[in-house]
Structure 1
Amino acid sequence: MAHFDLLTRPWLPVVTSQGPAWMSLREALQRAHETQLAAPGPEHAALLRLLLALYAAAARPADQEQWDAAWRAPALDTDGIGAYLDAHADRFDLFSSDRPFWQSAHVTEATQDVRGLDVAAWSSGAPQFAQHLLREPAPVDAADAAVGLVMLQAWHPGGIRTGHPADPATRAGKVYGSKPGPLSTMTHLRITGACLKDELLLNCPPGTRAAGDAPVWERDSATAPMHKREAAGPLDWWTWPTRRVRLFADDAGRVSGIALHDGDRPDSPDQSAARFDPGAALTGRGTRLAVADGAGHLLPWAPATLLDTSADTGTCAVLAHVTAAAERGTLPPDLRVEAAVLRAEHTTGHRAALSGIIHLHAPLGPAGTLADPDRRARLVEAARLPWRMQREITHTAADTLGLLAKAVQSRADLSLAPHLTAGWEEFTSDPDDEADSWWKCLALAARQVAGAKGTGSRALSGARMYVAALGALESPAPTTAEDLPV
């Protein structure tokens, strides 16, 4: 029988001072101070959640004092982590007969080929846009299948799934109403780090394990039928068994087929994410933070609005944790704090198929700025200005062009965002000295949008948009949760 031990076999894509490499889970944590994850955005987020769960289960700092000591230490607590991995070493075999990692041993027959592990296959009309799915699939190396498994449990959309024969919810071979995976249900924010050690600590606020909270490898292998239950804490949610999966290996140890059924089903994945995931980025209304406007342009200033803790303008536990570490002086004042933000988009309201995963790079400024409440407030104010100006442009365009506001929001030529990305990057490099340049960038963006409206009545409309946008820039009205898009 095939075996693939995730603790000892290399499968995680990383980069070290010697270049790209692959590491086991154990080696990645032992060498976290000299290693970086080297995966694309959606894959990076999914793998980091697994590593966060491992680190937190083994050695999560219980309070701020312990966290500060861990941050200043040259490496992670490798003794504690090693002892934990040794205690659970039999739970990380990808092909174990009785405890296959993040799978169900009670699922014994393949339902589809390995294309089910491909993110492209989870989209509506996938073969049309990913023609490699039309080719006869070849067996997948165990290392690649392991990454695909982690991605599937994190990102898989909801909808209709093949029902397991033992599942009483199965109707005509199907189960209905399956929930999307944790990352597929929220806007996810992580703070980037110079190495894996830093990234784990920056995205793991201190705390203690709640009663009943346990990662998937500390639990019994899930039974085949779908199970309705609620998450018990972040360890549970970081390793949530979204699907009942089983990987089937050929004689060479490659995955040649998979079983895929509905898994554990919370009542509301959105509420579970808001409650248990420190990376959940939420608006003041409790909805997913928008990272792109109606025309699809990215909004790199959006996460900075969550730094305001004085009102119901949004929350993110990771940002609150990093801000607190900056205020304590644990983070160096000149440390550039940057976020990677991801948000899954779906083809329908049922979130049954992915239409894409938006990946946003969002600089937040130096830790010294975050540490000072007054400077942080000025940063938040600067991040709100594009919303206010865009709101005025949208309302004015709707009035003067006779359009619905929703139609205006989807027009690329009326969007400030594509004119501001470079300006935000420059401003956040030094918010104290670059405030004037950000103001000028905003004014120029308003002129560029307004000046593209042609002649006659359209030129008059452009002039009115420009005046309205400058009015918001010079005398901004208060921003409420209703002003921020979702």
Structure 2
Amino acid sequence: MAEFDLLTRPWLPVVSGEGPARVSLREALEQAHEVQLAVPGPEHAALLRLLLALHAAAARPADEKQWDAAWRAPTLDTGRIGAYLDAHADRFDLLSDQHPFWQSAHVTEATQDVRGLDARYWSSGVPQFAQDLMRDPEPMDAADALVGLVMLQAWHPGGIRTGHPADPATRAGKVYGSKPGPLSTVTHLRVTGTCLKDELLLNCPPGVRAPGDCPVWERDSPAVPMRKREPAGPLDWWTWPNRRLRLFTDEDDRVNGIALHDGDRPDSPDQCAARLDPGAALTGRGTRLAVTDGSGHLLPWAPATLLDDSRTDAGSCAVLDHVTAAAERGALPPEMRVEATVLRAEHTTGHRAALSGITHLSAPLGPAGVLADPGRRARLVEAARLPWQVQREITHTAADTLGLLAKTVQSRADLSLALHLTTGWEEFTEAPDSAADRWRECLARAAEQVAGAKSSGSRTLSGARIHVAALSALNSTAPTTAEDLPV
């Protein structure tokens, strides 16, 4: 009988001082102080959720005192983690007949080949341009298929799924209205760490398990039919069985086909993420934090606006609240650089039935000592809001002088302030206490460049008005409200 034990077989891509390697789940947690995940952003986020759920189920600090002790400890609590893994060891076999990991044992027939595990295959129009996806695929190693499975459960878009005959929701072979995966519905933020141990602790605020909250491996293998239910807590949500999935293997134990049907369906994945995912990055209106402007340029200062705790219309992220509180307690070294990685899925339609891309943003937040001091943190937030203020005036003035709709102006790259601020925010956050004037100078130069693009021929007056409006906004003390920030 085929088997692939996640706790003992090497499959998780990591890097250590000895270079890249694959390790088992048990090894990853035992060596968490020595390794880092070694995968791109979307895979990193999906795999980290699995590891967060595993660590939290086994050894999550219950309060800040316990968290501080865990942060100071040289390793994770390998005793508690090892005992937990031993107690649930029979639930971590990828190819088990009774409890295949994060799959449904009751699904018995493949519906498609292994290309269904490739995120590119979920994207609108991509297969026709990716030559390797046009060819019949080779069977996959179980380790690679496992990474694909975790990705699929986290990121898969919604829409229409192949219906199973045993699912009453099936109509003409299809199930309609499936929900997008947990990561596909929210702007997701994680604070990076120098090792896996730090990353797990930084992204898991202390707390106790809610009644009924348990990860997928503590539950029975789900029945085939799509089920409507609400997640009981973060452990449930981190390992949400978004799809009824099953891997099938050939005689060499290589995965050569998959079954894919609709799985557990919450009423609103967006609200579940906002309520249960500590990495959910939300605006003051409760919408997903924007990480690009209307013309697609990255906004690395956007996450810093979530550090504002002085206003009711400010955005929020539980991970940032947790890291800020740890900095205020002195648990984090003042010189420690805090940096966020932010991901946001975009879809081709309002039904979110196909991915059009996943935006990846690296966002430095400055030293922990700045986050620890309310006054210094407030100045950091103020600096992060300045680009919004300046861009708002550029947009309004350009729309007025050029006779364009504001939405049209927002989509034009030549009127994007962010285009000219590629390195300015990173340089500012290296020493925010002493670089405030340089950041304003950087914004002023960027505004001048935007205005200059409109200062030729008959548009000279338009460029001048844009420049004056931008400088006025830069020197204004008027606060930026939630309505000023893009979504």
State TM-score, norm by structure 2. 0.99
2:2 aligned counterpart, secondary structure: coil
**Structure 1 match to 2:448:** 447
**Structure 2 match to 1:141:** 141
CA distance in 2: counterparts of 1:406 and 1:132, whole angstroms: 38
CA distance in 1: counterparts of 2:464 and 2:124, whole angstroms: 42
The answer to whether the 8 Å contact 1:104/1:222 transfers is yes
CA distance in 2: counterparts of 1:114 and 1:18, whole angstroms: 32
The yes-or-no answer on 1:176 pairing with 2:173 is: no
Alignment of structure 1 residues 277-292 onto 2, 5 Å = 277-292=277-292
Alignment of structure 1 residues 294-373 onto 2, 5 Å = 294-311=294-311, 312-373=313-374
The answer to whether the 8 Å contact 2:455/2:464 transfers is no
Deviations 1:37-73 (A, max 9, x none): 0100000000000000000000000000000000000
**Structure 1 match to 2:415:** 414
Deviations 1:377-410 (A, max 9, x none): 0000000000010000000000000001000000
CA distance in 2: counterparts of 1:412 and 1:128, whole angstroms: 29
Deviation at 1:456, TM superposition (A): 3.2
CA distance in 2: counterparts of 1:482 and 1:287, whole angstroms: 11
CA distance in 2: counterparts of 1:128 and 1:477, whole angstroms: 50
Counterpart residue identity of residue 457, structure 1:
S
**Structure 1 match to 2:103:** 103
Alignment of structure 1 residues 185-200 onto 2, 5 Å = 185-200=185-200
The yes-or-no answer on 1:152 pairing with 2:152 is: yes
The answer to whether the 8 Å contact 2:455/2:462 transfers is no
The answer to whether the 8 Å contact 1:385/1:476 transfers is no
1:318 aligned counterpart, secondary structure: helix
Deviation at 1:325, TM superposition (A): 0.2
1:126 aligned counterpart, secondary structure: coil
Counterpart residue identity of residue 315, structure 1:
S
Deviation at 1:131, TM superposition (A): 2.4
CA distance in 2: counterparts of 1:386 and 1:4, whole angstroms: 51
Which deviates the most, 369-378 or 451-460? Answer: 451-460
**Structure 1 match to 2:259:** 259
The answer to whether the 8 Å contact 1:122/1:354 transfers is yes
The answer to whether the 8 Å contact 2:455/2:461 transfers is no
CA distance in 2: counterparts of 1:69 and 1:61, whole angstroms: 9
CA distance in 2: counterparts of 1:440 and 1:454, whole angstroms: 20
1:127 aligned counterpart, secondary structure: coil
2:449 aligned counterpart, secondary structure: helix
Alignment of structure 1 residues 200-211 onto 2, 5 Å = 200-211=200-211
Deviation at 1:454, TM superposition (A): 4.1
CA distance in 2: counterparts of 1:86 and 1:274, whole angstroms: 33
1:33 aligned counterpart, secondary structure: coil
Deviations 1:280-310 (A, max 9, x none): 0000000000000110000000000000012
Deviation at 1:365, TM superposition (A): 0.3
CA distance in 1: counterparts of 2:119 and 2:25, whole angstroms: 23
1:360 aligned counterpart, secondary structure: strand
**Structure 2 match to 1:437:** 438
1:32 aligned counterpart, secondary structure: coil
The answer to whether the 8 Å contact 1:50/1:239 transfers is yes
Deviation at 1:252, TM superposition (A): 0.8
The answer to whether the 8 Å contact 1:14/1:35 transfers is yes
The answer to whether the 8 Å contact 1:388/1:476 transfers is no
CA distance in 2: counterparts of 1:334 and 1:464, whole angstroms: 42
Deviation at 1:232, TM superposition (A): 0.3
1:102 aligned counterpart, secondary structure: coil
2:397 aligned counterpart, secondary structure: helix
Deviation at 1:216, TM superposition (A): 0.2
Q: How many residues align?
A: 486
Deviation at 1:152, TM superposition (A): 0.1
The yes-or-no answer on 1:77 pairing with 2:77 is: yes
Deviations 1:340-379 (A, max 9, x none): 0000000001100000000000000000000000000000
Deviations 1:98-139 (A, max 9, x none): 100000000000000000000000011122232211011100
Deviations 1:293-343 (A, max 9, x none): 110000000000000012121000000000000000000000000000000
Deviation at 1:174, TM superposition (A): 0.2
The yes-or-no answer on 1:424 pairing with 2:421 is: no
Runs of 4+ in 1 over 3 A off after TM superposition: none
Counterpart residue identity of residue 320, structure 1:
D
Counterpart residue identity of residue 481, structure 1:
A
1:222 aligned counterpart, secondary structure: coil
CA distance in 2: counterparts of 1:247 and 1:454, whole angstroms: 60
CA distance in 2: counterparts of 1:418 and 1:399, whole angstroms: 22
Counterpart residue identity of residue 92, structure 1:
F
Deviation at 1:420, TM superposition (A): 1.1
Counterpart residue identity of residue 380, structure 1:
V
**Structure 2 match to 1:480:** 481
Counterpart residue identity of residue 376, structure 2:
R
1:283 aligned counterpart, secondary structure: coil
The answer to whether the 8 Å contact 2:35/2:196 transfers is yes
1:223 aligned counterpart, secondary structure: coil
Deviations 1:215-271 (A, max 9, x none): 000000000010000000000000000100000011111100000000000000000
CA RMSD of aligned residues (A): 0.6
CA distance in 2: counterparts of 1:16 and 1:473, whole angstroms: 45
Deviations 1:121-161 (A, max 9, x none): 00111222322110111000000000000000000000000
**Structure 2 match to 1:60:** 60
Alignment of structure 1 residues 114-129 onto 2, 5 Å = 114-129=114-129
2:240 aligned counterpart, secondary structure: coil
Percent of counterpart pairs with the same letter?
A: 82
The yes-or-no answer on 1:7 pairing with 2:7 is: yes
CA distance in 2: counterparts of 1:407 and 1:258, whole angstroms: 44
